[in-house]
Every structure is written in C-alpha cells, then in structure tokens.
Structure 1
Amino acid sequence: MSNTMKAVVVTARGKTELKDVPVPSPSAGEILVQTRAIAVNPTDYNELLFLTFLRAGHSVLTLFPSRDFLAPEGSWLGCDYMGVVSKLGEGVTNVKEGDRVAGFVHGGAWEGEGWAEYIKAQASLVWKVPDNLSDEEGAAAAGVGPWTVIQAFYFRLKLATPANPTKEAEPVLIWGGSTSTGLYGIQFLKASGYTPIVTASEKNFDKLKQLGAAACYSYSDPDVASKIAKDYPKLRYALDTISEGKTTVTAVKAISQAAGKGKVITLLTNKDEELKQFADSVPAEPTLLYTVLGVEFEWPGVKFPASPEDKAAMEGWMPLLPDLFKSGTIKPNPILPFDGGLANITEGLDYVKSGKQSAQKVVYKV
C-alpha cells in the first residue's frame, strides 16, 4: 500500500481539490477503511455554500441564522462512506480485516476526516454491510440518513424501537418524507409499530406509500396542518427533515390542533417567533447527528461539547443495523450513481444543491 492517497480537500472558500495526502494510521480503538463508495448529503454542500457567502463579504449568521456550517481551509469534505477494513488499531475486536463496513465521519470540520481513498474511523461506530447490499447501497445507508432517524426517534423522542415495537400504532409525522432522512424515517417507524404519516410533493406519494407511509399530504397545501390533525387526532410527535421557512411551525400546529401536546424534532434550529406561543405545549427541539461521534467540535460562534451519552447510544445500534438491512426491514435509499469518483465530486454536490435530488441518494464508486 502506498504511503499517500487522494482526498477531497477544501482549498479555499467554496472550493475543493483532489489532493495527495498521507494515508492515516489507526490509533487504539480505530480502524483504517479502504473506501469503495461514498454518498452525498446536503450537509456536505452546505459547508462550501457558506464559505462562498463569506468570501463575498456576507455574514453567515445574518443570511442563515440557523445554519452555522463552516468548512475551514485544509479540512476534508464528506461524511458517508462504505469500504473494506484495511487495518486494525490496538484493541479492536468487533471487526476484522476484509470486513465490509459503513459509517460516517465529521467531514468539513478538520483535516483527516472526509472523502478519501482511505478513511480512519472509530471501530465502535461502524456497522457490517450485509452481502445483499451493493457497495453503493452500503454508502447510501452508511450513516447520516438512518443515524439521524435513530437519534431523533429513539434518543430524543424516546419512541419504541424495532426490537420492541409498540402495539398502539400511534401516528408520527415526518415533514419531508421524500428526503433521505424521511425515507429512512418511514421505514423505522413502521418497523417500530408506529403509523408513519408524511408531507411531500404529490409526485412521490406512491413511492412513499410503498415504503410504508400510511398517508401522504402535500406540503404546499395551506390547510395541511388542519387536515392532518383531523385525520390523526392522536398525533403527538413529528420529525421536521426540512426545518426551513414555516415547516416547523406547520408541524407544530398539526400536533397542537390534534392531541394538543407533543414535540417536534428539527434538523436545524428554527427561531421563528410564532413557535414561542407553542413552546410549553409542543416544543420544537433541534438534534445534531455529529454529537454521536463523541468528540467536541465547534462551528462559528457555537461550541458543541462531546456527548458520551449519544455516542454510547449509537454504538448500541451498530450490531442491529446489519440484520435490519439484511432482512429487508430497512431498505437503502434508491441510488443515483455518478461517474468519476472523488475527482468528480463537485458534480454530485451541485446536483444536490440544485434541489433536483428527490427520493434518491447521489453516490460514487471510489
């Protein structure tokens, strides 16, 4: 194996370059993974988007008060990966060399974690990809989408899990059912005994119902909150995968008009003044997946301490994911393959940024 490899490095604000960097060596409790496929997430292009605005002299906090993303120059971009274990660090026993594994790292935060030919990862935060999934499907299921669902539903809302499903078939709303997180959310809710209801564009209704959505509502319908509340008067919980504009407010109103009390988990902080009147009965609380890595990190003006609780909880899910995917209980997002590998990553980022991606996942072979 060569001592150098290719990695997607942030070289200037809003720009990346495929550069030669040293192959990392795993420390105790870590593994080195030879990457076979990667997947693109909105969080990946957001890192560069905000750098571009900064370069133009704008304030990120002014333009995007709920998004404090910033990829410093020299950091490596990218989160989701699938590959083969190449080397074990001291003390690693849960995987062996040659195992197919998947996971995610904190791309865009610092040098050494992101899309590269080899990725160094915490051994306790990878899961073994079953043989019925291709490399690209493994990347599509690697981390950000399903792990965000796990964190939101089971860590934050304390819902019943697939291992011990509820018998009540309680409704749970997903705002943005055709997002990557939404697609996984539908399946995890169904596997956990809940009744998934979603908002989406009408073109995706059939696909979402095939995954298990009991009802689909148009997100553009001005009466969507009251219609959901009327159809599901016991609604108490929601996950807002969009968290922009009035999406959170509308999800909160649906619960308020239904059960009257509950909680909405968001993927971004929403400071809409209208939410204050519901703060006591239907609070909207953000969740941030990077906390499961158990490492302190900082975004502009905001420090996030290490969360050993989140990390330990996610570690407990790693042995469960292979069986969920092997059995077909959870299916990977439909993949949209792009050619060119790491050298052509900008095309995939631009595609996701354009909003063209819908009910599918942009993936690359490496």
Structure 2
Amino acid sequence: MNAVVLEKTGDPISGFVLSNSVPIPSPSPSQLLLKVKSCALNPVDYKMAQYNVLINDPLPLPLGCDVCGEIIQIGSDSSEESFKVGDLVFGYTGLGTIGYGTFAEFCVIEKSLAMKTSNGALTHPQLSSVGVGLETAALGLFQSLSLTISDEPKENLPKILIWGASSSVGMFAVQLASICGYPVIAVCSESNFDFMKSLGATYTVSYRDSNAAVNEIRSLPGGPPLHAYSTISSDASNLCAKSVSGENSIVAACAGGITESVDGVESKDVFLGMIPKNEDQTKYLSTLIPTFNRWFDNGKLKPGKILLMNGLQSIFEGLSTLSQGKVSGEKIVISLEP
C-alpha cells in the first residue's frame, strides 16, 4: 500500500518519505482493519520524528494516530457484534506501532476504541479530527479531575477552568464539561469567544494579559473555579494554579504541568500516548466510547474546525505548517478520497 513513513529521526519533517511498498496490516482478534478515508495531524506526529520518542517498532514506519475509515476486515474475536464490514468508524489508534499508523491507505484500530455515529451530517474529514482531542480531554476531565460523566447533570456543580480552550483538546474539554453540567470558564483569544459560547462555555476570558486573566477568573460570580485543565504549556498550567480556589484543587495538564507550586493545588499529567499499551487506561477509556457515540448521534458533541488537504503527499505540507506553529483553532485533516 501507499503510506507516508518515517525513515529516520532528528528532524520534524525531513525523515518522512512517501512509500508505495508498505505491507497492509493484518488485524489481530481485538482489531479492525480500516481503509483510511481521512486522517488528522497532531503535534505528536512531528515530535516523534524530531525527538525519536514513542516509537515502539523499527523504522521505516507509518505514523499518524487519528483516523476515520471504512471497516474492510474484522479481527477473529467473534464476541464483538458491534461492527460489520462497511461500517464507518473513527478515533485514536495508537503511537509508533506497526499497523496503527494512519498516514496510510490502510490501518488498524482497537475495537474497544473505535467510535461510530449515525449522525449523517458529519463528514469523514470531520470525524477523523476527533480521536486524540476528545479522548485526551476525557482522560483529563473524568479521570484526572474526577468529574462525573452524566446525561442528567446535577445542579450547583463547581466551575471548571479550561486554559487553551480553542485547542483540539480544549474544545472537546469545554463540550464535555458543559454537557455534564459544569459551568466552564474558557480561556482563549477574543476571536474564539463566540465559538466557545456555542460549545457551551459559561464564561470566556482572553489569554493575552495573563495577570488580568487570573484576576478576572478569580473574580467571577461564585468565586474561583475548583479545578482546571491546561492544554497548551507549563506556563498555562502555572496560571491555572494561580486561578483556582486552592481548596484541594487539581490542575490537569496534557502539555506540561505546574512548575511553580501553589498551596492547595495538585498537578496531574494527562497522556493518551500509552493507550492501547496500557490495559487499565484502555479499559477505562473504552467504557466512555458508547456515551461519546450517543452524544455524536444526538448532536451534543461536535467536531471542531478543520483545515482540509488532499492526498498522502499533502501530509508533508501539513506537518511543516503544524511544526511552525501556524495552526490555531483548527485541525489539519488529510482526505484520501479522490
């Protein structure tokens, strides 16, 4: 099959090449084989190449971990009746392992992590952008912060701060917390305020003046938020720590934790990359998949904004754009459909 493979590490882009001789992966009993319709790019893709991290199998190896594709073969575990050949599924596959790479015409995904929706209004490019952002958001909110996931939220739940709310992870964190009844404070640029409100944010705060942002957050009605989710940097995590109440508060962080300690505030790292190797994490996340499917079906959950490119060859341009920090508030998606 055709695939963009990583041949050497040390640079974010130059180690990738387009190959026409990559074997089509065979699904294990726990997996589905997909014909890739679209894949999405994530910062981890070029960071794996640049820093030689999270690569479990020998090079050359297709990377990429976000996909939407059509099932063409189901692993031999006959106990799984949720899928059939021809179904369109989407989600996060895994990192640095043969078969999981989505920069290819075919890839595998664990059955337990594959999402599907009956919402015909959602396109395969939109669905391919979901996996990493949604699942990282879910781990941070429901595991690290111990928020309650519910279709019937309770009243008077504590406010939750999302710093970096317009990022892929942040955008899903805003939606998930809001769906579950938590008032959300979304920190982002002013240009994304309306978008955050449309996703359910109760309050929007500009990140541009960090001291002013902290003061504004702590002065909101009802007092400071109890917990926070930082999605962009350790600097943002430190600002979160200054913003929360400090009453056994937690700052969950997926891109660098707290480096300046604050009394009454604990930092917890959030990392999707050990899934599916980490069986406990994988099992936990798999319990959330049916709820996510239902929320996509009924429109409660929505994919974010995408920047669409076409063909495997465009992965090089996409990775270059992403590595230069030229992407904000949207996700680069590669369509493999003609």
TM-score (norm 1): 0.83
Listed one character per residue, the Cα deviations across residues 177-219 of structure 1 (whole Å, up to 9, x for unaligned) are: 1101111111111100011101112222222122221112122
Listed one character per residue, the Cα deviations across residues 204-241 of structure 1 (whole Å, up to 9, x for unaligned) are: 22221222211121222123212211115151111000
Tell me if 1:329 matches 2:300: yes
**Residue 48 of structure 2 aligns to which amino acid in structure 1?**
E
Pairing partner for 1:320 from 291, 299, 309: 291
Tell me if 1:198 matches 2:186: yes
Tell me if 1:261 matches 2:262: no
Conservation of the 8 A alpha-carbon contact between 2:126 and 2:303: yes
Give the equivalent residue in structure 2 for 1:104. 92
Secondary structure of the structure 2 residue equivalent to 1:342: coil
CA shift for structure 1 position 164: 4.1
Q: Cα 1:111–1:196, aligned 2, differ >3 Å: closer, same or farther? A: same
Pairing partner for 1:79 from 65, 69, 78: 65
**Residue 282 of structure 1 aligns to which amino acid in structure 2?**
V
Secondary structure of the structure 2 residue equivalent to 1:161: coil
Conservation of the 8 A alpha-carbon contact between 1:33 and 1:87: yes
Give the equivalent residue in structure 2 for 1:29. 30
Q: Cα 1:343–1:129, aligned 2, differ >3 Å: closer, same or farther? A: farther
Listed one character per residue, the Cα deviations across residues 27-80 of structure 1 (whole Å, up to 9, x for unaligned) are: 2121111110111112112222335xxxxxxxxxxxxxxxx6668732321110
Size of the aligned set, in residue pairs, is 324
Taking the aligned partners of 2:303 and 2:185, their CA distance within structure 1 comes to 20
Taking the aligned partners of 1:347 and 1:23, their CA distance within structure 2 comes to 25
Conservation of the 8 A alpha-carbon contact between 1:196 and 1:212: yes
Tell me if 1:45 matches 2:32: no
CA shift for structure 1 position 324: 0.7
Taking the aligned partners of 1:190 and 1:84, their CA distance within structure 2 comes to 31
Conservation of the 8 A alpha-carbon contact between 1:170 and 1:234: no
Taking the aligned partners of 1:152 and 1:17, their CA distance within structure 2 comes to 34
Taking the aligned partners of 1:330 and 1:350, their CA distance within structure 2 comes to 30
Give the equivalent residue in structure 1 for 2:196. 208
- Structure 2 unaligned residues grouped into runs of 5+: none
Secondary structure of the structure 2 residue equivalent to 1:315: helix
Taking the aligned partners of 2:273 and 2:105, their CA distance within structure 1 comes to 22
Give the equivalent residue in structure 1 for 2:275. 292
CA shift for structure 1 position 271: 6.2
**Residue 241 of structure 1 aligns to which amino acid in structure 2?**
T
Listed one character per residue, the Cα deviations across residues 278-331 of structure 1 (whole Å, up to 9, x for unaligned) are: 3xx1111101112331x1xxxxxxxxxx3x322111111222222211211011
CA shift for structure 1 position 153: 0.7
Q: Cα 1:111–1:292, aligned 2, differ >3 Å: closer, same or farther? A: closer
Aligned-pair identity in percent equals: 29
Secondary structure of the structure 2 residue equivalent to 1:119: strand
- Structure 1 unaligned residues grouped into runs of 5+: 52-67, 296-305
Give the equivalent residue in structure 1 for 2:313. 343
Pairing partner for 1:132 from 118, 121, 145: 121
Give the equivalent residue in structure 1 for 2:265. 282
Secondary structure of the structure 2 residue equivalent to 1:111: coil
Give the equivalent residue in structure 2 for 1:59. none
Conservation of the 8 A alpha-carbon contact between 1:132 and 1:326: no
Give the equivalent residue in structure 2 for 1:9. 5
Q: Cα 1:95–1:70, aligned 2, differ >3 Å: closer, same or farther? A: closer
CA shift for structure 1 position 144: 0.3
CA shift for structure 1 position 114: 0.9
Pairing partner for 1:88 from 58, 71, 74: 74
TM-score (norm 2): 0.90
CA shift for structure 1 position 355: 2.2
Tell me if 1:236 matches 2:223: no
